[in-house]
Amino acid sequence: MNKVPPEVMKRAKKLREELNYHSYRYYVLNDPIITDQEYDEMLKELMMLERKYPELITPDSPTQRVGEKPAEGFKEVRHFTRLYSLDNTYSEEEVLEFHNRVKRLLGVDSLEYVCELKIDGLSIALRYESGTLVLAATRGDGVVGEDVTANVRTIKSIPLKLRKPLDIEIRGEVFLPKSEFKAINEERIEEGLPLFANPRNAAAGTLRQLDPHEVARRNLDAFFYQIVDPRRYNLETQWEVLSFMQEIGLKTEPHAKRVKDTSGIIDYWKHWQEEKHSLNYAVDGTVIKVNLIHQQEELGYTAKSPRWAIAFKFPAEQIRTKLIQVSFQVGRTGVITPVAELEPVSLSGTVVKRATLHNFDYIREKDIRVGDQVILEKAGEIIPQIIKTLPELRTGVEKVIKPPERCPVCQGTVGKEKEGEVALRCLNPACPAKLERRLRLFVSRDAMDIRGLGEKLVKRLLTANLVKNFSDLYKLTPFELAQLGTGIGDKTIANLLKEIDKSKDKPLHKLLVGLGIPGVGKKLALDLAMHFENLENLEKAEIEDLLKIQGVGIELAESIYNFFHNKEILEELNELKKFVNTKEPRKKIKGILEGKKIVVTGVLKNYTRKEIHDLIIALGGSVTTSVSSRTDLVIVGENPGSKLEKAKKSGVKTVTEDEFLDMIEGEDSNDLSR
């Protein structure tokens, strides 16, 4: 037995402490502060030390357990069979080692594998009895997880009842689509809340919400990849497992592939490393599985991982650049967000010049300074952010970033509205930056759609003190607009006033979007407008009335209620009512799809298949299941099937889900012409 050198003992102790801390941040707090690759490198180093010096192994070593205990707040659930984690690699050489090791253990010359995309989400176990969902649990430490059944029931892609009356346990991954991740973080910026670091982090935070209504709002999704004891269902291969899950109504990731050798594994990995940006969900690698179930059983498991599978992960897309200076943005709710101005660099296919710094607590925790060399990463391949600095490269000229003492726009007082709040806000209710952001939303295409009133003209109106609230837009005169000077001629003025006048007749749901009610986007605005019919009814709505709207939980209901009971907002609305429509023209919109035959294909973001069918029928249309020359329109979701190709060949008009919503919101059935 080798005597363990003191420096090795010290290093192993430090690695255990750091890995346990980061495991706690990841599993319990759902708030990782290092990348997966950094974690994996530390874990690999500790495993190598323990392999060389087995006496270093302690009961608390991360190599001896799968994860951390479940967080408090949910009932604990003991899994019938353990949920193992995967060994992983970032190198082609280690994939070859895995292949050779599996061949040696099985005593075979060739193998077939199934390659699947590794979804960056939250592991979940589902239990069905007689085909009915009875339990959904998080992975936890692999032995004990958390009961999140009530929340999982809100995920539209997870069936409450299977197509066959089976007793079965399924494993999969809950995830947040990139489009939802982006929208949620934009909303959190406006509300001064900490941003989610990545879609996985957001999915974990969402699934562990105590209010299922709040979970429903976030449109989680799920893919499934494993059946416990598959041979019980006469399944002999992983490929058959994937097919069987689709057969019983479970969603699987559609890009799995069978391959015969390591060159196929590597080609698949390289292809998706390049193409992953095209997906609406985050993937952080591929998973390689031995295809034959009896070979999986023969290979078995280590204490931590299956011997028959490995994760071949993508390298983190990071790049180094310099933080030149910090600017401050003021949102429509007054939140002051620090933004890093960077030396331009290319990252994930785009040139990045700016990155969010989230808030001043984040800056302090990561010790970010002006002049630092920093590592940049795109959260969920979408939002550029600084994940760490390189203090060892400092020259001494770097400057500590301090919160502004006054609002950077109006020089008003700044502070926190309530104790414990992270966000720093401008407390001046008349701050022009707040009004500018609110006006830009109000006139946007999804709201009142006042064309010609772009960002620059909004700024000029504010600078000239012509607009102080929404209603002032409807009081503008040609003479006032002419005073704005260069570029504002008679024709521009006439067109702008015409657009402003047109906006007076927009339906209520457009007005609700424009008001900027926290948590209310296009779909919910339409649902509110259709339910309450006019603004007066919505203003009078109690919290229990708002809870009747699908997807509205107690937190959101309180937010909407408080919005319509804010004195300043009520004063503004009372003035605005003198100029704009405050009703939803249900009778007018009712027949917009009258006589139209519509086909829906693919997975939609905002609606289940039943919901979109009900909406089409409510608007006068009819739903058909196959595309023909008599089809008027095909609504195309994510991962569409052969119906899309048939529609193209037949010359049938196709639209995305968003385009369809724009059509019905615009109340113009002429858009359905080919």
Q: What is the pLDDT of residue 668?
A: 45
CA distance 300 to 382: 38
Token pair listed for 571: 């004063």
CA distance 570 to 584: 20
Q: What is the pLDDT of residue 64?
A: 59
Indicate if 90 and 51 belong to the same structural domain.
no
Kind of pairing between the strands at 622-623 and 654-656: unpaired
CA distance 667 to 530: 14
* One-letter amino acid of 439: L
DSSP string over 227-273:
ESSGGGGT--BHHHHHHHHHHTT----TT-EEESSHHHHHHHHHHHH
- The gap between the terminal CA atoms of the chain, to the nearest Å, is 80
Helix (H, G, I), strand (E, B) or coil at 487: coil
Q: What is the pLDDT of residue 318?
A: 82
Indicate if 406 and 456 belong to the same structural domain.
no
Indicate if 141 and 114 belong to the same structural domain.
yes
Q: Number of folded domains in the chain? A: 5
Indicate if 570 and 611 belong to the same structural domain.
no
CA distance 209 to 198: 17
Q: Is residue 656 part of a domain?
A: yes
Q: Is residue 331 part of a domain?
A: no
Residues 6+ apart with CB under 8 A from 614: none
Looking up residue 102, the CATH number of its domain turns out to be 3.30.470.30
Q: Is residue 629 part of a domain?
A: yes
Tell me which DSSP letter residue 300 carries. Answer: -
Q: Is residue 630 part of a domain?
A: yes
Looking up residue 636, the CATH number of its domain turns out to be 3.40.50.10190
Asked if residues 16 and 60 have their Cβ atoms less than 8 Å apart, the reply is: yes
Asked if residues 422 and 412 have their Cβ atoms less than 8 Å apart, the reply is: no
Please write the tens of the pLDDT for every residue from 317-374. 788 999 999 999 888 778 888 999 999 998 876 788 998 888 888 899 899 999 999 9
Indicate if 272 and 216 belong to the same structural domain.
yes
Indicate if 309 and 341 belong to the same structural domain.
no
Indicate if 342 and 272 belong to the same structural domain.
no
Q: Is residue 329 part of a domain?
A: no
Determine the structural domain holding residue 35 and report its residue range. 6-64
Q: Is residue 218 part of a domain?
A: yes
Q: What is the pLDDT of residue 24?
A: 57
Determine whether 606 is exposed, middle or buried from the number of CB atoms within 10 Å of its CB (0-12, 13-18, 19+): buried
Of 163, 21, 170, 152, whose CA–CA distance to 74 is shortest? 152
Indicate if 626 and 482 belong to the same structural domain.
no
Indicate if 94 and 196 belong to the same structural domain.
yes
Indicate if 187 and 255 belong to the same structural domain.
yes
Of 285, 287, 293, whose CA–CA distance to 239 is shortest? 293
Indicate if 384 and 482 belong to the same structural domain.
no
Phi, psi torsion values for 58, nearest 5 degrees: -125, 160
> Mind spelling out the 3-state secondary structure of 19-57?
HHHHHHHHHCCCCCCCCHHHHHHHHHHHHHHHHHCHHHC
CA distance 188 to 192: 6
Q: What is the pLDDT of residue 73?
A: 61
How far is Cα of residue 439 from the mean position of the Cα atoms in its chain? 26
Kind of pairing between the strands at 132-138 and 309-313: unpaired
Looking up residue 12, the CATH number of its domain turns out to be 1.10.287.610
Token pair listed for 316: 């983190």
> Directed axis angle between helix 199-207 and helix 178-191, to 10°?
80
* Sheet of strand 257-259: strand arrangement: 88-89, 309-313, 283-290, 113-119, 257-259
CA distance 189 to 183: 10
Asked if residues 516 and 441 have their Cβ atoms less than 8 Å apart, the reply is: yes
Q: What is the pLDDT of residue 51?
A: 82
Of 230, 44, 65, whose CA–CA distance to 142 is shortest? 65
Q: What is the pLDDT of residue 32?
A: 63
Identify any residues that bridge with 311 across adjacent strands, giving them in sequence order: 88, 287
Residue at which a domain ends, from 576, 601, 628: 576
Place of tokens 């006032």: 480
* One-letter amino acid of 154: T
Helices and strands in the chain, H and E counts: 25, 24
How far is Cα of residue 185 from the mean position of the Cα atoms in its chain? 8
Looking up residue 549, the CATH number of its domain turns out to be 1.10.150.20
Asked if residues 225 and 171 have their Cβ atoms less than 8 Å apart, the reply is: yes
CA distance 518 to 498: 30
For the CA atoms of 394, 356, 349, 221, what is the dihedral angle to 10 degrees? 130
Token pair listed for 501: 């006048």
pLDDT < 70: residue spans in the chain: 1-2, 23-37, 59-60, 64-73, 189-194, 197, 210, 349, 379-382, 417-420, 551, 586-591, 608, 610-611, 614, 618, 665-674
Residue at which a domain ends, from 542, 576, 610: 576
Asked if residues 63 and 57 have their Cβ atoms less than 8 Å apart, the reply is: yes
Sign (positive/negative) of CA torsion 496, 190, 336, 425? Answer: positive
Residue at which a domain ends, from 350, 384, 415: 415
Of 496, 474, 453, 458, whose CA–CA distance to 580 is shortest? 474
Residues 6+ apart with CB under 8 A from 654: 633, 634, 635, 636, 644, 647, 648
Determine whether 610 is exposed, middle or buried from the number of CB atoms within 10 Å of its CB (0-12, 13-18, 19+): exposed
Q: Is residue 259 part of a domain?
A: yes
Place of tokens 């950094």: 38
Catalytic positions, please? 118
Indicate if 118 and 195 belong to the same structural domain.
yes
Cα distances (angstroms) measured from residue 114 to each of 166, 233, 256: 25, 19, 7
> Mind spelling out the 3-state secondary structure of 348-398?
CCEEEEEEECCCHHHHHHHCCEECCEEEEEEECCCEEEEEEECHHHCCCCC
Token pair listed for 110: 């060739």
Q: What is the pLDDT of residue 71?
A: 43
CA distance 606 to 551: 11
Query: What does the angle CA 649 – CA 651 – CA 654 come to, to the nearest 5 degrees?
Result: 100
DSSP string over 90-135:
S-HHHHHHHHHHHHHHHT-S---EEEEEEE-SEEEEEEEETTEEEE
Tell me which DSSP letter residue 337 carries. Answer: E
Query: What does the angle CA 379 – CA 384 – CA 390 come to, to the nearest 5 degrees?
Result: 100
Q: Is residue 323 part of a domain?
A: no
Determine whether 335 is exposed, middle or buried from the number of CB atoms within 10 Å of its CB (0-12, 13-18, 19+): buried
